[in-house]
């Protein structure tokens, strides 16, 4: 495999949008193209992420229209990716794999999602379609419910009283809002307190409202090219050092919900390809769809031993200035979570961090960054390691 790099990156502001998926994707895509000092006609393929367009806008087959919205050549194929919340990361990874394999020299990857137009009941129903349709969904399980079960299991397994665990989970939310308040693109650009998290409405026990990321609208895109080509076009290409991806079946087969086995497998592959370990990561954007999810992730990535990551946020170790900065963008919690775009927005944040372009949320001297995205009830995990 030849070396692959990222050129321009871009994301829309996340939040509630009146604009269509195509309008949002065109904004992010064209900005990424312009930032790459190229024209859309030079791109050889589009790797497009979207999950719920059918329900959001009555639009299936969005990839072909996204291609047209960017003004790409007819001979450049466009393919839709869907891996629940990990959708866009999977799209970026496959773009990198095909460029690495020499099939293409330069392509664009990303995604768009417009969840808020559906309203909470339909959005919750369609998100639940990411669980197993015959054996999980009929029980009325939701993603907050899945992570609620994980939190209870974590409490029991490691002997951490639920009250203590919840306080530490709240610290994750507070930390990510602290970061997100510095991000002009964030859905919720505001700081919150532990007390506020702990006084929110219960969504799925033990998770309360501010343990949960929002439904958001938004789009993000990244241009991916061979390293040789990237060096000719931009000052600071960011290299894809390693990627990983793994799949797992229904939760009742996964059993121990405190360990996302697919993540452990995916991370092992990404670290191996990059030739590095957890101690080498300077900055990480990971899948904090729920507060407990961030705790589980930093353990699976090897930043903490299993059962020891729960108080990392409370100790300030994952905050700006801490030993491993996690979700400087604000994460899914504060930045927002338009599921088909999230992974490309995580890549956007890491690329900007490694270029030193992140302003007041810059992780000083960051050279190696990690992207982590989890889809469904732990069914898909995709990781990308980037270096400057």
- Give the active site residues: 85, 337
Closer to other proteins by CB, 137 or 273: give it: 137
Both structure tokens of 334: 């504060």
* C-alpha distances in Å from residue 278, one per residue of 107, 244, 261, 368, 385: 29, 14, 17, 10, 11
Q: Return d(Cα 326, Cα 181) in angstroms, integer.
A: 15
Confirm or reject binding of residue 122 to other proteins (CB under 8 A): yes
Q: Return d(Cα 105, Cα 87) in angstroms, integer.
A: 22
The residue length of the chain stands at: 388
Confirm or reject binding of residue 228 to other proteins (CB under 8 A): no
Confirm or reject binding of residue 92 to other proteins (CB under 8 A): no
Q: Return d(Cα 152, Cα 258) in angstroms, integer.
A: 9
Confirm or reject binding of residue 279 to other proteins (CB under 8 A): no
Q: Return d(Cα 303, Cα 286) in angstroms, integer.
A: 12
Of the ranges 79-87, 195-203, 317-325, 348-356, which one interacts with other proteins (CB under 8 A)? 195-203
Handedness of CA 339, 340, 345, 351 (dihedral sign): positive
Q: Return d(Cα 27, Cα 220) in angstroms, integer.
A: 9
- SS3 category, 274: helix
Closer to other proteins by CB, 155 or 329: give it: 155
The minimum distance between CB 250 and other proteins, in angstroms, equals 8
Closer to other proteins by CB, 35 or 254: give it: 254
Tell me which DSSP letter residue 83 carries: B
The minimum distance between CB 133 and other proteins, in angstroms, equals 7
Q: Which of residues 237-266 bind other proteins (CB under 8 A)?
A: 249-253, 255, 257
By CB under 8 A, name the one of 75, 134, 279, 360 that touches other proteins: 134
- One character per residue 148-187, x = contact with other proteins (rule: CB under 8 A): xxx-xx-xx-----x-------------------------
Interface residue list for other proteins (CB under 8 A): 120-122, 124-125, 127-129, 133-142, 144-146, 148-150, 152-153, 155-156, 162, 201-207, 249-253, 255, 257
């Amino acid at each position: 495999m030849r070396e692959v790099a990222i050129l321009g990156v871009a994301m829309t502001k996340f939040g509630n949008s009146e604009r269509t998926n195509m309008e949002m994707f065109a904004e992010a895509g064209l900005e990424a193209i312009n930032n790459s000092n190229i024209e859309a006609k030079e791109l050889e393929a589009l790797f497009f992420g979207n999950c719920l367009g059918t329900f959001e806008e009555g639009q299936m087959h969005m990839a072909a229209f996204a291609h047209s919205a960017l003004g790409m050549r007819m001979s450049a194929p466009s393919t839709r990716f869907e891996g629940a919340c990990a959708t866009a990361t999977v799209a970026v990874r496959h773009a990198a794999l095909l460029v690495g394999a020499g099939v293409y020299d330069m392509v664009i990857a990303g995604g768009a999602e417009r969840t808020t137009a559906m309203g909470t009941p339909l959005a919750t129903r369609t998100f639940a379609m990411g669980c197993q349709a015959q054996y999980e969904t009929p029980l009325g399980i939701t993603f907050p419910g899945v992570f609620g079960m994980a939190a209870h299991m974590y409490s029991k397994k490691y002997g951490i009283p639920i009250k203590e665990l919840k306080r530490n989970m709240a610290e994750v939310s507070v930390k990510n809002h602290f970061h997100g308040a510095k991000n002009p693109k964030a859905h919720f650009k505001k700081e919150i307190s532990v007390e506020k998290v702990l006084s929110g409405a219960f969504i799925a026990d033990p998770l309360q409202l501010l343990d949960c990321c929002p439904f958001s609208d938004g789009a993000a895109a990244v241009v991916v090219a061979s390293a040789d080509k990237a060096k000719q076009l931009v000052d600071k290409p960011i290299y894809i050092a390693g990627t990983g991806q793994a799949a797992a079946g229904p939760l009742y087969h996964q059993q121990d919900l405190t360990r996302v086995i697919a993540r452990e497998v995916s991370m092992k592959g990404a670290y191996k390809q990059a030739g590095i370990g957890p101690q080498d990561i300077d900055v990480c954007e990971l899948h904090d769809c729920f507060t407990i999810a961030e705790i589980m992730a930093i353990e699976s990535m090897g930043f903490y031993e299993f059962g020891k990551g729960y108080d990392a946020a409370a100790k300030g170790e994952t905050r700006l200035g801490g030993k491993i900065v996690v979700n400087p963008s604000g994460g899914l919690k504060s930045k927002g979570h338009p599921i088909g775009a999230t992974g490309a927005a995580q890549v956007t944040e890491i690329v900007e961090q490694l270029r030193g372009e992140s302003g007041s949320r810059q992780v000083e001297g960051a050279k190696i960054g990690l992207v982590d995205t989890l889809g469904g009830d732990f069914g898909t995990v995709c990781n990308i390691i980037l270096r400057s």
